[in-house]
Amino acid sequence: MEFLVGFFTLYFAAIILMCWSVLIKSNPFSKAMSNLSLGLMLAWWLKGCIDSLIKDVLVPASQGNVARLTVLILGLLMFLRFSKGLAFTSKWPLAVLAGVGTAIATKGAIPSMVLAQLTVGSFVGPNIVDNINNIIIWSGCVSTLVYFIFSIERGPVLGPISRVGQVFMMISFGTVFGSLLTGDNVMASLAFMFGDPGRYVAAIGAAIFVAYVVIDIRKKVAPVQKATV
Amino acid sequence: MAQKVEKAEKWYQSASTQEYLMYLSVILLSGMLLINPVTFPLDITQPTIDFVNAIRSIPKGGLMLWDESSFVTGYYTQNQIALYKLFFDQAKQRGVRIIFISCCVDGPMAGAMINKQLEVQDTTGLKYGVNYVNLGWQPGFELVLSAIAKDIQTVTKADAYGTPISDIPMMKGLRTEDINLFAFNCGVSCDPWMRQWVPLHKPILMTGGYSLIAQAQGYIQAGSITAYLNGSRGYVEMERITGYLTMQTSLFEASNIMGPYAILLVIVCNVSHTLQKRKKRRE
């Protein structure tokens, strides 16, 4: 058992390195890991759905709660999309989903999204920093909205405002991207690679990387002096 | 006949070498902080203090519900371990009972996250089914949130391990009104939670990434969300308050060092470029 745990830990470290190898350039290892993660996610989804189907539909139905089979029938109707003649029935479960979802959402929307918002007395903050923040939030919100208004011609007023909105979006996207790159998940992988036994795999990876770098640099840096007459 | 000799580029002058060195220094710098954690000074913000206080002020023998949305990566980065410990501390010290559930829209992985968390927590003196219960991942997202708000008994027939709800002592006769505090980890917009739980007029706590907290500002200002943990920083602040530091703190410091490093890199590169230009002009 311990051998298996050790093996999978090393395998996990190798997976991290394969994922990181995309930083150099796209390669079969990074592509394989990309496919693996997608497949794993779908497999989890499938397992979860089958489990809930058994737990919430088949078991209660076998115990006499036949009404639960309605859900199964509605789900199966989705597959009739593959039949030309019966494809229209695949819209029924979607209609039920949309109807129930809208009803549930609308029921709670009024008190939380409308009435509760009306209780906010003032948008003026208690100190100067809060107020500066509020001004930035308001200007960012309004200018970004203006950027997405395409039905009015950008004149001398709307043009600069939409440009400000564009800058706000660039900053936001940059921040999100940066926080993802230096985020917890990447850092946690790094911590794993510096730990035991990840460091052994990291050492092998580092050796391969150094070899690659040396070859790459030798290719790019021409050692021959160019002489022109 | 004039002969012009163009000097070959040295290896350390190559753009790709400098790029590799830049990445290597990033890895070494953050790696050093991960191996030898350094705790930089950090101002603890009011929302985090309110968050911890809200959990600590659940009445003795009271009940809280935690809706999990983090995937297993959350366990891996240890950003939830201190939070679960805070819950279990309340269970041990003041008899607070906890319901764990995952209504996560992104799938059953969040249910797996609860299992992983419960495996590593110290539950000495606590009994499953009496002090805490794990209802696992429930498909349906807002429908499940709505069912929780209406009647907790209708959410599921069995817990995460297949035990019928009717056989779990803690769940017997339990009503939604008995829950003193609702808390959730948010992976998407918090609107569904707000729509279903705000009408209950109970304290609601939220944890989520920076962008999700920004989206929730309307609810925070309206008082619908009692307190929140703002991304990684929120978790780290909570760890500082509770005194239980996990890898999350190291990761936070290692991530933080990237900011000054990037600024330094920009300054050094620009100054170096300007100096090289001047040197060429003189020549």
H or E stretch covering A167: helix A158-181
Across chain A, mean pLDDT equals 84
In this predicted structure, the answer to whether residue A181 has a pLDDT above a threshold of 80 is no
In this predicted structure, the answer to whether residue A218 has a pLDDT above a threshold of 80 is no
Rounded CA separation A17/A11 (Å):
10
pLDDT tens digits, one per residue of B172-208: 999 999 999 999 998 888 999 999 999 999 999 999 8
Reported confidence tier of residue A221, pLDDT bands at 50, 70, 90: low
Q: So what's the pLDDT on residue B73?
A: 64
Higher pLDDT: A39 or B104? It is A39
Across chain B, mean pLDDT equals 87
Q: Give contacts of A75 with chain B, Cβ < 8 Å.
A: none
Higher pLDDT: A108 or A2? It is A108
Tokens coding A167: 């800058």
Reported confidence tier of residue B12, pLDDT bands at 50, 70, 90: low
Reported confidence tier of residue A96, pLDDT bands at 50, 70, 90: very high
Contact (CB<8Å) A184/B111 = no
Interface mutation vs chain B, best among A54, A118, A137, A184, most B CBs within 10 Å: A184
Reported confidence tier of residue B231, pLDDT bands at 50, 70, 90: confident
Q: So what's the pLDDT on residue B6?
A: 55
Q: Are B170 and B130 in contact (CB under 8 A)?
A: yes
In this predicted structure, the answer to whether residue A8 has a pLDDT above a threshold of 60 is yes
Report the predicted TM-score, pTM, of the whole model to 2 decimal places: 0.81
Section A20-39 average pLDDT: 87
In this predicted structure, the answer to whether residue A119 has a pLDDT above a threshold of 80 is no
In this predicted structure, the answer to whether residue B109 has a pLDDT above a threshold of 90 is no
Of A116, A187, A226, the CB nearest to B254: A187
Q: Which of residues 169-228 of B touch A (CB under 8 A)?
A: 191-192, 194-196, 198-199, 210-211, 217-219, 221-224
Higher pLDDT: A222 or B234? It is B234
Q: So what's the pLDDT on residue B59?
A: 95
Asked if the B46-255 domain carries CATH number 3.40.50, the reply is: yes
Reported confidence tier of residue B1, pLDDT bands at 50, 70, 90: very low
Q: Are B116 and B137 in contact (CB under 8 A)?
A: no
Contact (CB<8Å) A23/B23 = yes
Reported confidence tier of residue B276, pLDDT bands at 50, 70, 90: confident
Q: Give contacts of A229 with chain B, Cβ < 8 Å.
A: 1, 3-4
Contact (CB<8Å) A47/B108 = yes
Contact (CB<8Å) B9/A224 = no
Q: So what's the pLDDT on residue B21?
A: 79
Higher pLDDT: B262 or B83? It is B83
H or E stretch covering A11: helix A2-20
In this predicted structure, the answer to whether residue A225 has a pLDDT above a threshold of 60 is no
Q: So what's the pLDDT on residue A147?
A: 93
Section A223-229 average pLDDT: 48
Q: Which of B228, B118, B246 is CA-nearest to residue B184?
A: B228
Q: Among the ranges A3-12, A121-130, B50-59, which has the highest mean pLDDT value?
A: B50-59
Q: Are A192 and A183 in contact (CB under 8 A)?
A: no
Tokens coding B274: 């300007």
- CB under 8 Å, gap of 24 or more: what pairs does A14-19 form? A14/A201, A16/A189, A16/A192, A16/A193, A16/A198, A17/A193, A17/A201, A17/A202, A17/A205, A19/A189
Reported confidence tier of residue B113, pLDDT bands at 50, 70, 90: confident
Section A68-75 average pLDDT: 91
Reported confidence tier of residue A21, pLDDT bands at 50, 70, 90: confident
Reported confidence tier of residue B13, pLDDT bands at 50, 70, 90: low
Q: Are B85 and B98 in contact (CB under 8 A)?
A: no
Contact (CB<8Å) A184/B248 = yes
